[in-house]
Structures are given as structure tokens and as C-alpha cells.
Amino acid sequence: MSRSFDALKPYLDRAMAMQSALVLFEWDDATLAPKQAGELTGNVISILSGEYFQAVNNDEVKRLVKECRKDDTLTQVEAAQVRELSEELDKLDCIPKEEYQAFARLTSEAVRVWTEAKEQDDFGLFAPTLEKVIQYKKKFAGYRAEDGQKKYDVMLHDYEPGFNMELLDQFFETVKQEIVPLLRAVQNSKVLVRDDFLTGEFTDEQQERIGRFLAEYVGFDFSKGVMAVSAHPFTTNLHNKDVRITTHYNERLDSSLFSIIHESGHALYEFGIRDDLTQTLVGQGASTGMHESQSRFFENIIGRNKSFWLPIYEKLQEAFPEALTDIGLDLFVNAINKAAPGFIRTEADELTYSLHVLIRYELEKQLIEGDLSVEELPKAWADKYEEYLGIRPKHQREGVLQDIHWSQGSFGYFPSYALGSAFGAQLYYHMKKEMDFEGLLEEGKLDVIREYLREHIHQYGKLKDSRTILKDTTGEDFNPDYYVRYLKEKYQKLYHLEKEME
């Protein structure tokens, strides 16, 4: 171990400990904390955040990082941590402290304003605050941009290193050219897919029991993880021996089931991170897109696959006898794959999902790099929904006000959601060449699939970026054609489009 890194390590350990505490409070706040805890716990969180910031953002750490960067005896893992930290410090260093703090205050205010505007269904309430958020984001990106780099590319890099507008334009153009006509064909198809039986009066206990079974079945390890209820499902982790998922229960029986499989996919990534990486700056998933690729891989490619349900469908029927006793496996699998345009991204099916993301990508680009004004945003949003999905939102809460991301200043985040699906499809077709994928599902041997993903993806944490992982695993750089092929194969079959599409 290198001596410069030895000196840096206690600072890193301290920062990670603060971060673990912060994560635990966030989790608690969303799940178990009593209503009135908010304000006083907020004080604790604010002190801990300050401590985290101080642990790494001080002169001694900056000096040590400089030393480490010159040190060629660093191990690969040490060098990766130094790289992450110095990127983080550079980011903070180029922003004047007053502006950084003002922005932190602005975004916490913006989330409150957005919540209110969504409740009132009034974009006008949110517009002036959103305008300020965008101005700050553009200013910060300008500080950080390297010679000639576009501002939106700076923002994209934060979520998906290795991707920029040039690559994403190609990706989303493919999505637009291929998926929009496919959706039209699905809508014009005479095939009616029944899914009425998925809605009913199911108790939380009933849903939780089968949900826990499914989590365990896909590999969620309850000796290293817990599951709770929150308004919006999410996954969080302290380290690879403590990963936490949440779900919510409602009148759709597939809603909690697939959210549990989705979050379990995120959790498996975190369980799979190597012991020497966990609790370090490189001990998380490679990127938001790669993380989403794992959750969506389990939710969709595995979870909506007939072969997955074959060995366990009877168990599901027993869990929901009132709904499923008379419903055969084929009817059920068709129902969970039904495609229909809707307004809400988080409730979208696999086919329309990426179109929701395409719209956000195009609008963000125009807001940051083009001349779209905040005032024009609701109309631009509705126009694009009409153009790509064939529906026009009547309310702003189901239109431009539906997502929290912009109020938090998370510009550049959305593309990861679609990239995740596309990464997953590329991995899927490669894995089919290496193993009898569907055969393994039919035999319930998910451990073979899980182990493959752990070996090629999970274990590395942030040691590799998403494009490197794809190249090393599939022998090919990111290629969106697999995603198009996956959706075409699935929906042409389900909606009997084979003849019309050829």
C-alpha cells in the first residue's frame, strides 16, 4: 500500500462513515420515522452533511490527493478512489462557495414549490423557481466545462460517464425511428390484451407475503437486506452487507410485485460489489444507467418472461386465488406485458417507457443548449406527447409537473433510464449465446444468471464505466440495435404484427 494513500485513508473512512449515517437517516425518513421527527432530525442531517463535506473538502486532503496522483505505486483500487475524490473536489472547487450554498437552499425550496404546484396543478407557481434552477445549472456547468465542452454534456457526464449528446442523439434517434412506428402498429392491432384481473382488493399482507417470496427467489438475501414500505419504491445501501429496498401496495397486484423485483435488481448489484470496494468511493454501481440496467433486467427481461413464471405461477395463483384461479399462465404473461400509451413515466410499460425518456431528453437539450424558455415548456411537453405517444395531457400534474428531478436540479439524469433498458437488452442477447437463458429460468436456476452478472458487472463497482463493462462483457461497445430487436420481437409476437411489419 502506498504511503500517500495511507495518510489519505482516514479522511476517506471518516467521509464514508458520515455518508452511511446520512443514508440511514434518509431511509428512516422515508419508511419508519414518525411524522413530527422531520424538523429536529433535519438539524442532525444538516450537521452530518457539513461534517461529510469537511472530511474531504479541506487543504490537507487536497494536498494528499495531489501527492497520490503523482504516486505510481497505488493499487488499482486506490487509484480509482483518488480519481473519484479528485473529480469531486474539482467539481466543488470551481464553484464559488456562496453560489454553491445558495443553490443548495434554492433546490430544497424548489422541491417544496414543485410539490405545491403539482398539488395545485399550476405550472405557473413553479416556473420562476425552475428558471432560477436552470440558470444556476448552466452557470455551474460553464465553470466546469473543459475547452469547448457543451454545458449539457457536462451534466450528462455526472450520471453516465462516457456518454454525451453526440452518442445520445444517435441512441434516441434510433428509439424515435423504430419505437414510434412500432407503437402505432400495436395501437392499430386488433388484438385485445386483457389485464382487468390484475386489479382488485388485495390486502397488504397478501401482497407482502408473495413479494418477499419473489425477492428471495430472484436472489435478495434477507440476512444482508431488509424490505419496507414507502410512498415511492427505492433502494439504498450502506455497504454490501446492508442493502435496503422498499415497495408500496395498491389495487394492482402487479404493481408491488414488479417494483419488488425491480428494487431487488438494484440490490443484487450492491450485494455483488467486492469486499475490497464496499464502503469506499468506488463501492457503488458504475453509473445510474448501469444500475438501472440491472433493475430493469430483473423486472422486465426476467420478470415479464413466461419462462420465469412457469415454475412459480401456481404459487402466485395461491397468493391471489380470487384474481388468478381461472387465469392461465399465458393470459397472465400477456397481461403483464400489455402496452398502452399513458401520461405517467413511472407507470409506463416496456414499449412506451423509452418514449417518455426521449421527450425529457429533447426538452432538456432545448432548455440547456437551445432557446426553449420555461414559459413554453408545458406546451412543448404536451406537443411531444401528442407527437410520439398520440395523447395530450389535460393536467400539468400528469404532464410537465409529474417528475421531481428538475426541482432537484437533476438535469441529465433522465437518459440513464432509457440507457439502462438498452444496456440490459444488449447483455441479454449476449447471455443467450453463452447459456440457455430461458431454460435456466424454467428450471428456476436464477443463481447461474445472477452469478454471471456479478462476475461481469456487479463486482467491479465504479472501477469500470458502463461502456467498458459492455465492451468487456459482450465484446461490443454500446449498441442500441439490441434494444430495438428486443422490443420488436416481444411486441410483434404479443400483438400478432409479424405480417404487417415485414
Torsion angle of alpha carbons 143, 146, 147, 150, nearest 10°? -80
Shortest distance, position 225 Cβ to Zn ion, whole Å = 16
Which residues inside 125-144 make contact with Zn ion, applying CB under 5 A?
A: none
Q: Choose one: 115-123, 177-185, 287-295, 494-502; the region binding Zn ion (CB under 5 A).
A: 287-295
Exposure string over 158-187, b if 16+ CB within 10 A, otherwise e: bbbbbbbbebbeebbebbbebbeebbeebe
DSSP string, 456-495: HTGGGTTSS-HHHHHHHHHSS---THHHHHHHHHHHHHHT
Select 295 or 474, whichever has its Cβ closest to Zn ion. 295
Nearest residue (beta carbon) to Zn ion:
295
Q: Choose one: 23-31, 51-59, 216-224, 293-301; the region binding Zn ion (CB under 5 A).
A: 293-301
Select 55 or 245, whichever has its Cβ closest to Zn ion. 245
CA atoms of 414 and 211, how far apart (whole Å): 28
**Residue of 78, 178, 263, 270 marked catalytic:** 263
Contacts of 18 (CB under 8 A, 6+ apart): 48, 49, 51, 52, 55
Shortest distance, position 262 Cβ to Zn ion, whole Å = 6
The correct pick among 4, 255, 295, 402 for binding Zn ion (CB under 5 A) is: 295
| Known catalytic residue at 263 | yes
Cell of 88: 469531486
Q: Choose one: 217-225, 288-296, 332-340, 391-399; the region binding Zn ion (CB under 5 A).
A: 288-296
Select 261 or 339, whichever has its Cβ closest to Zn ion. 261
Residue type, 389: L
Q: Collapsing DSSP states into helix, strand and coil, what is residue 168?
A: helix
Shortest distance, position 109 Cβ to Zn ion, whole Å = 27
Shortest distance, position 292 Cβ to Zn ion, whole Å = 5
Select 295 or 337, whichever has its Cβ closest to Zn ion. 295
CA atoms of 230 and 251, how far apart (whole Å): 16
Residue pair 269/458 in contact (Cβ under 8 Å)? The answer is: yes
Select 240 or 259, whichever has its Cβ closest to Zn ion. 259
Select 266 or 456, whichever has its Cβ closest to Zn ion. 266
Select 137 or 262, whichever has its Cβ closest to Zn ion. 262
Residue bearing cell 479528485: 86
Q: Collapsing DSSP states into helix, strand and coil, what is residue 334?
A: helix
The reply to whether 279 sits near Zn ion by the rule CB under 5 A is no
Helix or strand holding residue 452 (H, E): helix 446-456
Shortest distance, position 265 Cβ to Zn ion, whole Å = 8
Q: Choose one: 191-199, 295-303, 318-326, 493-501; the region binding Zn ion (CB under 5 A).
A: 295-303
- Helix 123-144 and helix 151-159, axial crossing angle in degrees, nearest 10: 90
Contact mark string toward Zn ion, 236..275, x via CB under 5 A: ----------------------------------------
Cell of 140: 455551474
Q: Choose one: 92-100, 289-297, 379-387, 403-411; the region binding Zn ion (CB under 5 A).
A: 289-297
Other residues' Cβ atoms within 10 Å of the Cβ of residue 396: 22
Residue bearing cell 400534474: 397
Q: What are phi and psi of 450, to 5 degrees?
A: -60, -45
Shortest distance, position 284 Cβ to Zn ion, whole Å = 14
Reference 83, options 167, 155, 161, 147; nearest CA is: 161
Select 420 or 480, whichever has its Cβ closest to Zn ion. 420
CA atoms of 388 and 453, how far apart (whole Å): 34
DSSP 194: P
Helix or strand holding residue 236 (H, E): strand 235-239
Contacts of 108 (CB under 8 A, 6+ apart): none
Residue pair 253/271 in contact (Cβ under 8 Å)? The answer is: no
Shortest distance, position 417 Cβ to Zn ion, whole Å = 8
CA atoms of 2 and 71, how far apart (whole Å): 8
Shortest distance, position 110 Cβ to Zn ion, whole Å = 23
Q: Choose one: 47-55, 91-99, 292-300, 322-330; the region binding Zn ion (CB under 5 A).
A: 292-300
Number of residues located near Zn ion, criterion CB under 5 A: 1
Reference 158, options 368, 363, 411; nearest CA is: 411
Select 158 or 376, whichever has its Cβ closest to Zn ion. 158
Shortest distance, position 379 Cβ to Zn ion, whole Å = 30
Binding site for Zn ion (CB under 5 A): 295
What residues act catalytically? Answer: 263
